[in-house]
Structure 1
Amino acid sequence: MTEPFATIENLREHWAGLPEDHESDAAQKLIEASIIIRGLYPAVDAWLASGRLKAETVRFVVCDVVATAIRRVLEAEQGDNVQQETFSAGPYSQTLAYRIREANLFLSKLHKQLLTGGGARNRKAFMITPELP
């Protein structure tokens, strides 16, 4: 097995509020986040070796992905999973819509830009003006 890009100590430095009872789950998620990054960007280890990508950048992305997933679990455990509430006075109505709080690991647009060096070059729209005769 290939080493994860971040350790539990790195995650504690990134997120001081990591609960001790979630550390074993966090350690596994660090491995899984590293697998996801290597799956999406197979050349990431070569980029690190060549200096194209800094180790602290990948470490930050892995820690941020894992911290986000664990925070979602904590919010769900604390009951903060109501997305929408509707109350009516007469003739008595109440509606609650719950958001799904799964601990999925995902890369945000920022994470992807950091890993690929995309920055502002990640633009998708452009215009070509044809020359008239």
Structure 2
Amino acid sequence: MAADYADLDGLKAHWPLLPSDREGEAGQKLHEASVEIRALYPDVDARIAAGTMDADIPRLVVCRMVKRAMTAPATPGGEGGLGSIQQGAGPFSQTLNFSNPDGAVYLSKADRNLLRTARGHKRAWTIIPSGGAV
């Protein structure tokens, strides 16, 4: 079994306000986030070993994933991951929008960009009607 990309000490350095009574949950989520990265980006370990990826990148992404999952806002009733509430007065309407209701770990677009394989810089070019290229 491969080691997790981040540990509890690393998460505490990233997120100093981690509640001490939730450290067990955090440890499990660190593992889940590492598993998800390995499943979606199976070449990450090889890129780290080859020196083409800094080991701090998946460590940062895992810490972001765990913090995001554990800080999903909750309603007074205890529902987690509430994104917004909309209420009306008459004829009595109420809408709840959940952004991460089960507190799952997930990759954001920024996380995916950090983990993707680096591509060379692309140059803009055009074809001039006279036949020359710029």
User: In the alignment, residue 95 of structure 2 is paired with which amino acid?
Assistant: A
- Runs (4 or more) in structure 1 with deviation over 6 Å come to none
Alpha carbons of structure 1 residues 82 and 40: separation in structure 2 relative to 1, 3 Å:
closer
- What's 2:86 paired with? 85
From 86, 92, 95, the counterpart of 1:94: 92
Structure 1 vs Structure 2: percent identity of aligned residues? 34
C-alpha contact (below 8 Å) 1:113/1:119 kept by paired residues:
no
TM-score normalised to the size of structure 2?
Answer: 0.77
Shift of 1:118: 4.9
What does residue range 36-115 of structure 1 map to in structure 2 within 5 Å? 36-72=36-72, 75-76=73-74, 81=82, 83-88=84-89, 92-100=90-98, 101-115=101-115
Shift of 1:120: 9.7
- What's 1:18 paired with? 18
C-alpha contact (below 8 Å) 1:65/1:105 kept by paired residues:
yes
| 1:54-73 deviations in Å (ceiling 9; x for gaps) | 0111100000001000001x
RMSD value, Cα = 2.9
Could you tell me which runs of 5 or more consecutive residues in structure 1 were left unpaired when the two chains were aligned. 122-127
C-alpha contact (below 8 Å) 1:14/1:63 kept by paired residues:
yes
C-alpha contact (below 8 Å) 1:83/1:96 kept by paired residues:
no
Q: Which has the higher helix share?
A: 1
| 1:59-115 deviations in Å (ceiling 9; x for gaps) | 00000001000001xx21655837232323xxx433222233221111111111111
Shift of 1:117: 4.7
C-alpha contact (below 8 Å) 1:82/1:96 kept by paired residues:
no
TM-score normalised to the size of structure 1?
Answer: 0.78
User: In the alignment, residue 37 of structure 1 is paired with which amino acid?
Assistant: I
| 1:13-42 deviations in Å (ceiling 9; x for gaps) | 001111112111110010111011111111
Could you tell me which runs of 5 or more consecutive residues in structure 2 were left unpaired when the two chains were aligned. 130-134
